[in-house]
Chain A
Amino acid sequence: MLKFLLTRFATALPTVLGMSFVAFAIVALAPGDPVQMELRAMGVVPKPEDIAALKAEYGLDQPFFIRYGAWLWRALHLDFGTSVATGRSVISEIGLYMPATLTLALSALFGAVVISLVLGTLAIMAHRFTATGVRVLTILLVSVPSFWLALLFIHIFILNLGWARLIGDGTVYDLILPALTLSLGAGAALGRFVYERAYAEACEDYVRLAIAKGVTPVRILVCHIGPRIIGPLTTVWANALGGLLGGAVIVESIFGWPGLGQLILQAIGQRDFPVIQGYLVLMGLIFFAMSFVADIVVILADPQLRRKVSND
């Protein structure tokens, strides 16, 4: 297992490095000078020496690869620099928003998992008419854009019923609507996956044998099919969490949820290079971590793979 973990880490290194390079290059080569933009936004009339001093302060006067090398070295020490806009360290900036986004993404994932299992199970176990209805509902939920759903919820639950508020203080109560918005779409997409995997397994010989032995459908699903599909499902859930973390931008913005989406939108607008770079690397690392965790779960869930890794 240790060998597997080390190998997995080693193979991930070039990916992480490549990702860091892309994150740095995209931002560094994008049009817009953060120094000029900052000065003009403040109504300041810069002298050439002011601009030069600020560029030197942010290291923008150095050649690209030297800047990248220096940035990478600092990033390895978790120092992504200082936000041009706020004066706080990038880690502090991310730290301000991260809890809200993590809470939202994890809640949405939990909701999505529950919805996916319910929809997937219903689709496979219900009568043909009901199953068709569930599949239509799934397609509908997958197709509806999250921003539209968000606005619909706002109009129904906030403006008409008054059950929720837009300016929350980060309590669980304020989390319900944005989490539900995210989890419905993601849950529906995952539900289709649950249905397809379970349906494929249902055609296997061991399921036929269980049916022949008179095992109840629920028991077959939970005790026989469930363990077989939990590995692939974990991989999909892990990827979904990454997607929810990155994809929550619009929903966060509409609900005024103070998450990373707000941070990155503002940072892009202000060309806050250090923040954008830090955010991109962080998101890449989260994706990597999720995929890593999924790999381990897949191995643990599959006896054959577990034996193979143990023997290696």
Chain B
Amino acid sequence: MFNSKLATRLGVAAVSALVLTHSVQAETHLNVAVKADRYSIKSDKFTFTTRRPAAQIAETAVKPDANFNPSPLLFKDWEYRDGTYTVTLQEGVTFSDGTVFDADSAIASLKLYDQNKSDFLQLDQASFEKLGEYQISFRSEVESALVIENMTHRGASLFLPSDTMADNPIGTGPYTLKSYEPKKQITVTRNPDYWGEAPKVDTLTFHFIGDDNARMLALQNGEVDVIGEVTPQMMLSMPQDGSVILNESRPIRYAALMFNMLGKAPYDITADLKVRQALAYAIDRETLAQVLYGGKGQAAKTILPGWMFDLGDDHAKGFGFDTAKSNALLDEAGWRAGVDGIREKDGRKLSLRMVAAYPNVSTVKPMPEMLDQMFAAIGVDIEIIEVDDSGVYNDTYFGPGAADMYLEFASNNNTDPTYLLYNVFTTMSPWGYAVTSPGGNVDELAKAARVASSRTEAVDLVRQAYKSIVDEHTSTIPILLVPNFTLSRPGVTVPMSEYADWIGYGDVTFAQ
């Protein structure tokens, strides 16, 4: 009798311990180190929990698919006809407070973004119509055919309007806010009523650590599992003993040299197409790719990777490494070798000023020095100006056109195929890129793409524009295409995305 009771108790204890152990093991917590806290709690510029890695609480209407085309998320399907968007909403979705995501709440959420001074959806506030319980329609106030594309931007995540949004944001996402300590950390915990597939990780904590070195040391010390924002310097200092794992996406960011196309003295030498082409052929991209970004970059023929928008790898011919061709082009342009090895023409030296870089020179080091050597090999003297501050870059050198060339490191992180083209490569650029834009046919192609009747037509026009920029005008020389990176400790696998805001931290897996 005694033995059977004891056996029963022991059995119960063993089962309890097993259950307890299992539940402890099942509880997963991921610590992610990110840079500074960049969230704004202002209602008209609300970015809190919508941007950067912590964007787990609210979801966007659509999400980018593998090729950066919009695919369903909260919008099940959509149609654009005669300036009107007709949208069918996903059914069975609820906000984290239990409110049903239907036509009424969707319209209320979308209207939030029209109150925003920095709104890029530009929805016509008066055009919203409820067509059914799960169907709505609206128009763009600027007749844009690319509103849906812009909705893939995390900044357009849909929140339930409330007066306490800054303290308690309510979305439909896989996580809910647990705590937010400004400048220190933000913790989100799994939304038990999430409508979609539940994420693998129970709790995510994002630690704001501004210093690159401190982030790396925190990872090495096991205080964080993943580093969400990786700089080239961190890759250079990354230990090679396997204690830190590099996770990479497909190449997305471009490093490119943009020429001053205004042609005003003394920065008028690169107004000559032959000089630009000569410089393009003088760049040994393979060597640069081996040295920079831990050798993970790729020599670039084009500005955008071929997979993006299905542009195709050969949408521009680009330039190989051919110094003989460079020398021939410079000879043709009338630049002859001088006694000091620097080419001259009519008593003027072939000296060019190169400003490196946007957003800062740290992102492209030591590319400026390597380019200097490559250009010196064809008799071109380079004055390198290294700038580590985008304000100085823009105000002192870029805006006034006070250089011949500008080195930039950027990416197209929007599923609108005209986004980068229009804003960075046309004379209509609101960011001041008229300085480096070829104008003419590129402007026309970009304008046409923005009002194209179909996405296919828009992408085709964009493809032609990029081809023209590189092959015809050579106003920008593509140099490298670089992946998006994260670092993790061994055993932690991060499902990468080319778009930093879309990295699935909730689906990180831990090795047994």
Contacts and interface: CB of A to CB of B under 8 A. Distances in A.
Contacts of A300: none
22 contacts: A31-B392, A32-B392, A37-B390, A37-B391, A42-B47, A42-B118, A45-B419, A46-B430, A47-B430, A50-B117, A87-B42, A88-B41, A88-B182, A97-B183, A159-B220, A165-B223, A166-B218, A166-B221, A254-B214, A256-B209, A256-B214, A271-B391
Q: Which of B38, B41, B51, B430 has the most CB atoms of chain A within a 10 A radius of its CB?
A: B430
A43 B391 contact: no
A85 interface: yes
B221 A165 contact: yes
Interface string B196-227: 00000000000101110110011011011000
Given A87-B45, A154-B217, A253-B211, A166 B223 contact: yes
Contacts of B47: 42
Interface residues of A, number: 46
Interface of A: 30-33, 36-47, 50, 53-54, 57, 82, 85-88, 96-97, 151, 154, 158-159, 162, 165-167, 253-256, 258, 262-263, 265-266, 269, 271
Contact of B117 (A53, A86, A158): A53
Nearest to B358: A40
A310 to B, nearest CB: 48
B262 to A, nearest CB: 19
Nearest to B213: A254
Nearest to B182: A96
| A-B pairs with lowest CB-CB distance, top 4 | A32-B391, A87-B42, A31-B395, A87-B40
Contacts of B389: 31-32, 269
A53 B115 CA distance: 13
B211 A254 contact: yes
B118 A253 contact: no
Contact of B184 (A54, A166, A253, A258): A258
Contact of A166 (B120, B214, B414): B214
Given A166-B217, A254-B213, A33 B391 contact: yes
B171 interface: no
B343 interface: no
B41 A87 contact: yes
A253 B155 contact: no
Contact of A263 (B42, B183, B207): B183
Given A43-B414, A50-B117, A253 B210 contact: yes
A167 B207 contact: yes
A167 B218 contact: yes
A85 B46 CA distance: 10
Interface of B: 31, 33, 36-42, 45, 47, 51, 117-120, 153, 155, 166, 182-184, 207, 209-211, 213-214, 217-218, 220-221, 223-224, 389-392, 394-396, 413-414, 419, 422-423, 430-431
Contacts of A32: 389-392, 394-395
A38 to B, nearest CB: 8
Nearest to B41: A87
A162 B220 CA distance: 12
Contacts of B414: 43
A45 B395 contact: no
Contacts of B182: 86, 88, 96
Contacts of B395: 31-33
Q: Which of A30, A43, A86, A167 has the most CB atoms of chain B within a 10 A radius of its CB?
A: A167
Contacts of B430: 45-47
A167 B41 contact: no
A185 B183 CA distance: 28
B186 to A, nearest CB: 13
A39 B217 CA distance: 32
